[in-house]
Structure 1
């Protein structure tokens, strides 16, 4: 008799100033959780890029269903501009994935230090009623969440690689990366505005654009 359908949900790219935030949901049968463990599936942050890429086809082949949802910088900025914070935006995205995937059990990595608060956010948008487990560091505790973290991270890295191929070196996409800050500064100096794949609401972007305007532009 087949076991329950178990989902894991996680994201990649919540904090960067460049590129999308990618949410992912993966559904496997309960008896396949051991297969994920034996295959080395775990939190994507504990794996090298090459190992993550090798695991993607394995996860996709074993999954009953999986979905990826990309939240683009403009969508993130518009939500924040309406007073919708990142936790709320992420809860809506995870709910959308769960409503499509319809698992019996769902393990969710909470971005909020208060997982119960994030669980209540998520429940507001759910049309399905899985057994719901929402925890901090779920990607390290549950292999199916680790699988979602891997698919999300690899997709985000692909998007950043595409930007790099088109626009040149732009670093990791994080505000603390000097290469990313230099890329943004040079873009603003050349174009008088931020690139369309930058999150304008991030402090780094606001500071660079304000500094450019204070200096009189070009």
Structure 2
């Protein structure tokens, strides 16, 4: 059994990070499906492939909310958090080999962090851009991305206004975040308050409030 693990949503200021593991006996069926790195596929193509992947593979998905990320960052790095969840997924899937998209600049260090959370002892292949190399990691990237996109749309419906993709490079996201904080004096739900963009806007809001009393 081999498995591939990848994440979607490590960097955005709004929304969860989703980590997915996909396990198969052989990656031949995944190759036949035409899986690719999720970033190289259109949203429509990802959504077409996701249920097909689930039919030919065992899939584990873990969602880490914005609040959980903020809490974890008080005592660990994002790399350590990812490695911890990767280890949890490997334990559940129990593969002989695990291919992972390395989050750390040092691929071997990321493997070491994963092994710290493991009881089982599979062979771990930790590489940068594994989602562009191994079909089983490509499949994991697709399922993770579809799950995160769906969750962002749910958050948008909950809040009742467009929030964009959740990334700080998205003008819609940053306009929404800024407007919400200016109007309510706090971050909107599902915001990573420990992220610099959110902290900076909150700080500017506080300074403007203080100026009114001078």
Which range, TM-score by smaller chain? Answer: over 0.9
SS in 2 for 1:169: coil
Q: Describe how 1:121-160 pairs up with structure 2 within 5 A.
A: 121-160=113-152
2:194 paired with 1:198: no
Look up the match of 1:46.
40
- TM-score, normalization: structure 1? 0.93
2-structure distance, mates of 1:57, 1:143: 16
Q: Describe how 1:86-101 pairs up with structure 2 within 5 A.
A: 86-101=78-93
2-structure distance, mates of 1:69, 1:150: 14
Q: 1:35 aligns with which of 29, 38, 41?
A: 29
Which runs of 5 or more residues in structure 1 are unaligned?
Answer: none
CA RMSD of aligned residues (A): 1.2
SS in 1 for 2:209: coil
Structure 1 stretches (4+) deviating beyond 4 angstroms? none
Look up the match of 2:11.
15
Look up the match of 2:181.
188
Look up the match of 2:50.
56
2-structure distance, mates of 1:196, 1:172: 15
Q: 1:109 aligns with which of 101, 108, 112?
A: 101
1-structure distance, mates of 2:68, 2:44: 30
Q: 1:76 aligns with which of 69, 76, 84?
A: 69
2-structure distance, mates of 1:15, 1:54: 25
